[in-house]
Amino acid sequence: MLKEELTEALNDQMNYEFYSAHVYMAIAAYCSAESLDGFANFFIVQAEEERFHAMKLYKYLNDRGKRATLSGFAAPQNEYDSMLDAFEHAFAHEQEVTRRIYHLSDLAMNDREHATIQFLKWFIDEQVEEEAMFDSIIHKLKRIDKDSNAFFMMDAEFAQRTFTPPAAE
């Protein structure tokens, strides 16, 4: 039986994952407005991943006999100074997601909620990957000029990104 505080925190994280999709769609719209369609695609795919994360939590709450409750959220940041600025914003957002997942894990461990501890391990691994991905792109963006061939090659590369749900899901 999931305790109330843990249930609320799982529900809150489901909403935060939907909010994350909203944050990344706002960045995608900024990229589209800058005619950087590959970067826009990167963030549209990222938003799809976030909805997938939210749905994992939605299904988990249902599987545990709890009801998922949807909330509203604040408007995301829509304007950015540069693509580097946008990726730094995304990286900071992922660090906040990680902090929240760790807090959820702490609650689950306090409750000795082994099924939830196990469930959250997937998210902990996912956050390592997400932070590493954004960190790596930021390092590349810092090395290249925004009008260089390398920058437009990145845009072309990101146009190829697709969302494939993990096979086991």
* Tokens matching residue 103: 């807090």
Residue closer to ligand FEO (CB basis): 97 or 154: 97
Name the DSSP letter for residue 34.
Answer: T
Q: Does 113 bind ligand FEO (CB under 6 A)?
A: no
Residues in region 63-92 near ligand FEO by CB under 6 A? none
Contact positions with ligand FEO (CB under 6 A) in 129-158: 130
Nearest position to ligand FEO, beta carbon: 53
Q: State whether the Cα torsion 74-80-85-87 is positive or negative.
A: positive
Instruction: Report the distance separating Cα 4 and Cα 106, nearest Å.
Output: 15
DSSP 52-94: HHHHHHHHHHHHTT--------PPPP---SSHHHHHHHHHHHH
In the region spanning residues 32 to 51, those forming contacts with ligand FEO, defined by CB under 6 A, are 50
- Number of residues in contact with ligand FEO under rule CB under 6 A: 7
Instruction: Assess 56 for contact with ligand FEO (CB under 6 A).
Output: no
Q: How far is the CB of 149 from ligand FEO (least distance, A)?
A: 30
Among 7, 20, 105, 116, binds ligand FEO (CB under 6 A): 20
